[in-house]
């Protein structure tokens, strides 16, 4: 029996059809902000704010609901990287400036792509949304 809450980390139909897995694999082009062995950040194709990029783990994890203790280092690294990338992409420094980090989880949380991702948004307001 499959656990619906278990992260998908191996190749298979879910990963093969995942938009963000294809972007991470270079099968679909993106405007990269940052890349290393475990993390990819790229510009959102429909930005809501002057600065709007996504950060994804290259490992397929369906959503924040599937994050467990084994992902602490990866998620911690992503959160520690977000402020640096936000500044590099044009967000003004804290406290006058700033940015928002958002992750949508599940249908009721507004998640559209079922691969864990963080939206990093900032820049002068008003924004298109949010």
Q: How far is CA 1 from CA 4, 11, 67, 71, 121, in A?
A: 9, 18, 20, 23, 39
Q: How far is CA 21 from CA 64, 79, 89, 101, in A?
A: 16, 20, 23, 21
Q: Which residues pair with 99 in a beta bridge?
A: 122
CB 89 within 8 A of CB 125: no
Any catalytic annotation for residue 119? no
In this structure, the number of other CB atoms found within 10 A of the CB of residue 9 comes to: 13
Q: Which of 60, 114, 117, 119 is catalytic?
A: 117
**Residues labelled as active-site residues:** 117
């Amino acid at each position: 029996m499959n656990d619906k809450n278990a992260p998908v980390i191996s190749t298979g139909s879910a990963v093969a059809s995942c938009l963000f897995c294809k972007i991470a694999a270079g099968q679909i082009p993106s405007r990269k902000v940052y890349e290393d062995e475990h993390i990819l950040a790229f510009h959102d194709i429909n930005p809501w704010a002057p600065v709007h990029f996504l950060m994804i783990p290259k490992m397929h994890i369906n959503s924040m609901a599937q994050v467990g203790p084994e992902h602490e280092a990866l998620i911690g690294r992503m959160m520690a990287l977000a402020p640096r990338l936000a500044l590099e992409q044009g967000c003004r420094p804290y406290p006058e400036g700033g940015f928002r980090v958002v992750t949508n989880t599940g249908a009721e949380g507004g998640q559209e792509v079922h691969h864990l991702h963080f939206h990093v948004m900032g820049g002068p307001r008003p924004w298109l949304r949010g």
